[in-house]
Amino acid sequence: MAYGPLALSRRHVLGEYYSRCEAIESVPVYLNDPAGEVIGHVDESMGKYADAFLFHLSEDMCKKLSAGHYTYSFEFENIDPGSSAAGRRFRLLAVMLTARKGYTRPLPKRGEAALADNADAPGNVGESDGQ
């Protein structure tokens, strides 16, 4: 299986947790939950000033991740439990990739739904009346 690293901005991955997360060495990446199989790992091997996470996943997973097919969730531990919740720093323990839900298309305005709406309107004669 070929592995292709994918570099993503720390701010993009961590979002609101960006300023509170410590630098990482290497963290496992799971699909959906931490009880499952490890599908790769993520690190900051691009250097101290690169400010990017480097995901080491299969090429197929890298393509899907870069196309936005997954959302991120995290497992972390608090470093300074005595501070307020807003300023609390944490250490990242694991990253979980969760597949996005599919888009449900809205019902069309034309067709059966529109006929049912129009048949109930006052003054309209239904097709079944024969008039």
Walk along the chain (131 residues) in steps of 10 and give the mean pLDDT of each run. 79 90 92 88 82 92 91 89 73 92 79 56 52 46
Pick from 88, 93, 79, 108: nearest CA to 20: 88
pLDDT of 86 reads 64
Tell me, rounded to whole angstroms, the distance of Cα 78 from its chain centroid. Answer: 23
pLDDT of 131 reads 46
pLDDT of 119 reads 56
pLDDT of 101 reads 82
Pick from 86, 99, 80, 96: nearest CA to 16: 86
Contact, 57 vs 6, CB < 8 A? yes
The residue extents of the domains of the chain are 3-99
pLDDT of 12 reads 92
